Structure 1
Amino acid sequence: MSDAGFAATEVALRIRQGARDGVLSFPLTAFQADGALDLPAYRGYLSTRLEANPGAVFPACGTGEFFSLDEDEYRSVVRATVETAAGQVPVIAGIGYGWAQALRFARIAEDAGADAVLAMPHYLVNGPQSGLVEQVGRIAGGTDLPLIVYQRDHVAYTAESLRRIARFPTVIGLKDGHSDLDRLQRLTLAAPQGFLFFNGAPTAEIQARAYAAVGVPAYSSAVHAFAPEIANAFFAALNAADDARVEQLLREFYLPLVEIRDRGTGYAVALVKAAARMRGCPVGPVRAPLAEPRPEDLADLSEVLDHGLALVGARRQAG
């Protein structure tokens, strides 16, 4: 095995252990009112996420509005994450677009000290399976960083494609956003031993039990971005097989939350950021093309958030 392959194996082990101990956290990127990057606010916000003991942090990904960051901003966010995390947990930075641009971001992430990268779906076009595999191969061949691929929207791998992707020495896992459990089960069966899989559904807790049933217990939590107390309470109940507690949190918090989320385009990020501001986190607004949630949706979000916090014995004021 190459040096890069050995390093990838070590990072994969750290991520696997982290996912057993806590949820995967995707921090929001803080902006000022005029849309400029607010790095001091981001550092402070990230510190509070780290205090809530995530299994790993994924800066500048979908929740972190990767698509709206230029390369200098991206570099600043990833470096700030690495410095703030200070080795506590693995740092996996988002990369994306076509393979050439994804490699530019991967090299920035490597220089900034990230432990691995998450390759988000490429830009705009659909591609055949052979093209999807080559896209991953081009990225994996251009950086020594361990690579996790993300399938959602127009990217969906077959079992044979996953076998080919998994042969690249630095490809260590797959994040799934399709929630097609038949396809996902086939992928887990086709993957080599030790390959990582993550539940990356928009509100992953809703489907956490179903994913775990096909061998994918690890999941990302958007709720951890604004209410880590709730996210951690759910994680603990799930791992303790406390079905009554899991059902209560799903029925009384997560289901109402996703019903509000489904009312608006882009709410998977905009609503999360609004909820973080309600907790006193100075993360600022979303950047276009996202837009702020409607006032009536914010009012409903406020009620759901307060009820969820009450369920776990927390209060609005805590960030």
Structure 2
Amino acid sequence: MTVALDTHEAVLRRLRDGMAGGVLSFPLTSFHADGSLDPDGFRAHVARRIAAGPGAVFPACGTGEFFSLDEDEYRTVVALTVREARGRLPVVAGIGYGWAQARRFARIAEEAGADALLVLPHYLVTAPQEGLVRQVERIAAGTRLPLVVYQRGQVAFTADSLRRIAALPNVIGLKDGHSDLDRLQRLTLAAPEDFLFFNGAATAEIQARAYATVGVPAYSSAVHAFAPEIADRFFAALRDGDDKTTDRLLREFYVPLVELRDRVPGYAVSLVKAAARLRGEPVGPVRAPLTDLSAADLAELRNLLATGLDLVGAAP
């Protein structure tokens, strides 16, 4: 397959410029009460996310419940995102599972008009470094689109493995979800100068300062899916060195949010979706095996969300 290096470089520049100016948005996938896909709800949700001005939009990823979408639903979600983006910002679609299935999703995303792909961790098994590299090589050989590889869970690259995947013409970056700053520093030093890194830890704002110390200031924001006002205010405070605002948002909103998130497995998505519904977003419930919040946890989330919005309103 012919690799369009000029296209990859253009996408890389757009992503880098976008990350310098805003958070990365990971929209939710909208479902009806019966669990079926809600295209109209998703279109409205992703349009509002894009209007809020993120650096890039990543449909059908972890927050978007990629793991629960069939290929037709995936095609719809990516195509609607591309349509709403209208070229104003990069659209990076999630792909995953084994390399053969990842390539199928990559073809669908390419046909739907995505600019790039985020390679989610493979399914179930733990693999040696050689296997992790070969997985990326196989996926990269099956698509013309540039790839950002997500290391999290059972995927963690050594510096030598990072050099090998970064040498592939269409691998342009790495999203990190491990928060192992020693390892991450080694990876950033091993990578080519123009290689893209960003913080993909759950509720990445908690670690944003620490990541910036090893040269990775960009991050994804799940909060942007339901409260872009809070996400953008935190981003601006961190960028501008406004420690007072950063600390207050961390102390009174983000840390309590993480404590609530960590109570139940899967709340990393369920909580975000519940908060979006509280803001009037037509995203519907989560799909099994995830579960929606309990009544008590939902009430706590409602109060926490009000606190976060009040903090933004009071910030200078």
TM-score interval for Structure 1 and Structure 2 normalised by the shorter chain: over 0.9
Corresponding position of 2:306: 306
Q: Which amino acid aligns with 1:268?
A: A
- CA–CA distance in structure 2, aligned partners of residues 279 and 193 of structure 1: 41
- CA–CA distance in structure 1, aligned partners of residues 288 and 73 of structure 2: 16
5 Å matches for 1:1-319?
3-313=3-313
- CA–CA distance in structure 1, aligned partners of residues 165 and 59 of structure 2: 24
Residues 181-233 of structure 1 deviation map (CA, whole Å, 9 limit, x = unaligned): 00000000000011000100000000000000000000000000000000000
Residues 93-127 of structure 1 deviation map (CA, whole Å, 9 limit, x = unaligned): 00000000000000000000000000000011111
Residue 68 of structure 1 deviates from its aligned partner by 0.3
- Residue segments in structure 2 that go unaligned for 5+ positions in a row: none
Residue 282 of structure 1 deviates from its aligned partner by 1.0
- CA–CA distance in structure 1, aligned partners of residues 247 and 267 of structure 2: 24
TM-score by length of 2: 0.98
Q: What is the DSSP-based 3-state SS (H/G/I as helix, E as strand, rest coil) of the residue aligned with 1:88?
A: coil
- CA–CA distance in structure 2, aligned partners of residues 227 and 88 of structure 1: 21
- CA–CA distance in structure 1, aligned partners of residues 112 and 232 of structure 2: 29
Residue 6 of structure 1 deviates from its aligned partner by 2.1
Q: Is the contact between residue 3 and residue 169 of structure 2 (CA under 8 Å) also seen in structure 1? A: no
- CA–CA distance in structure 1, aligned partners of residues 206 and 4 of structure 2: 36
Q: Is the contact between residue 3 and residue 170 of structure 2 (CA under 8 Å) also seen in structure 1? A: no
- CA–CA distance in structure 2, aligned partners of residues 254 and 3 of structure 1: 41
- CA–CA distance in structure 1, aligned partners of residues 288 and 5 of structure 2: 39
- Superposed CA RMSD in Å reads 0.8
Residues 216-260 of structure 1 deviation map (CA, whole Å, 9 limit, x = unaligned): 000000000000000000001011100111001000100110000
- CA–CA distance in structure 1, aligned partners of residues 33 and 105 of structure 2: 26
- CA–CA distance in structure 1, aligned partners of residues 6 and 122 of structure 2: 27
Q: What is the DSSP-based 3-state SS (H/G/I as helix, E as strand, rest coil) of the residue aligned with 1:312?
A: helix
- CA–CA distance in structure 2, aligned partners of residues 9 and 171 of structure 1: 11
- CA–CA distance in structure 2, aligned partners of residues 142 and 297 of structure 1: 44
Residue 296 of structure 1 deviates from its aligned partner by 1.2
- CA–CA distance in structure 2, aligned partners of residues 46 and 101 of structure 1: 25
Q: Which amino acid aligns with 1:79?
A: A
- CA–CA distance in structure 2, aligned partners of residues 67 and 250 of structure 1: 30
Residue 40 of structure 1 deviates from its aligned partner by 0.7
Residue 311 of structure 1 deviates from its aligned partner by 0.8
TM-score by length of 1: 0.97
Q: What is the DSSP-based 3-state SS (H/G/I as helix, E as strand, rest coil) of the residue aligned with 1:187?
A: helix
Q: Which amino acid aligns with 2:147?
A: L
Q: Is the contact between residue 117 and residue 148 of structure 2 (CA under 8 Å) also seen in structure 1? A: yes
- CA–CA distance in structure 2, aligned partners of residues 260 and 295 of structure 1: 13
Q: Which amino acid aligns with 2:20?
A: R
Residue 3 of structure 1 deviates from its aligned partner by 4.7
Corresponding position of 1:317: none
Residue 47 of structure 1 deviates from its aligned partner by 1.1
Q: Which amino acid aligns with 1:117?
A: L
Q: Which amino acid aligns with 1:56?
A: A
Q: What is the DSSP-based 3-state SS (H/G/I as helix, E as strand, rest coil) of the residue aligned with 1:117?
A: strand
Q: How many residue pairs end up in the alignment?
A: 313
- CA–CA distance in structure 1, aligned partners of residues 235 and 56 of structure 2: 14
Runs (4+) off by over 3 Å: none
Q: What is the DSSP-based 3-state SS (H/G/I as helix, E as strand, rest coil) of the residue aligned with 2:13?
A: helix
Residue 166 of structure 1 deviates from its aligned partner by 0.4
